[in-house]
Amino acid sequence: MRRNQRAKGKRNRSQTRQAKGAPKGPALSMDQLVARVRPHVPAVLERDGNEAVTRVQLREILRREGLRGGRNDRLGPVLQELRTETTI
């Protein structure tokens, strides 16, 4: 009998499960998200020379700060709130 006899096509896979990263808390509400992003907006606007914050800039801030809630359906209201605050 042969040693280490396996059926053709089978692969040797590790039995350990991969970690899925650090556990993340619940997504923030829109008001909380606006409050946490607001302090970073003026610096980004000054750096890029924009009059109003863009979707790309908002996503950049969210990633850099490690904030959740950057889905498209939630970005619209946050952008609108931030834009009205910067124009007043």
- Cβ pair 74, 54 in contact under 8 A: no
Overall pTM surpassing 0.95 (yes/no): no
Burial of 53 (0-12, 13-18, 19+ CB in 10 A): buried
Residue 18 has pLDDT above 70, yes or no: no
- The length of the chain in residues reads 88
Give the integer Cα–Cα distance in Å for 55 and 68.
Answer: 15
Domain that residue 44 falls in: 30-87
Q: What is residue 13's predicted lDDT score, i.e. its pLDDT?
A: 64
Q: Establish if 13 belongs to a structural domain.
A: no
Q: Establish if 46 belongs to a structural domain.
A: yes
Give the integer Cα–Cα distance in Å for 68 and 2.
Answer: 54
Count up the domains in the chain and report the number.
1
Q: Establish if 6 belongs to a structural domain.
A: no
Residue-wise pLDDT for 30-80, tens only, equals: 888 999 999 999 999 999 999 999 999 999 999 999 988 777 788 899 999
Q: Which residue has the higher pLDDT, 88 or 69?
A: 69
Q: Establish if 40 belongs to a structural domain.
A: yes
Residue 22 has pLDDT above 60, yes or no: no
Instruction: Report the run of H or E that residue 16 belongs to, with start and end.
Output: none
Q: What is residue 5's predicted lDDT score, i.e. its pLDDT?
A: 65
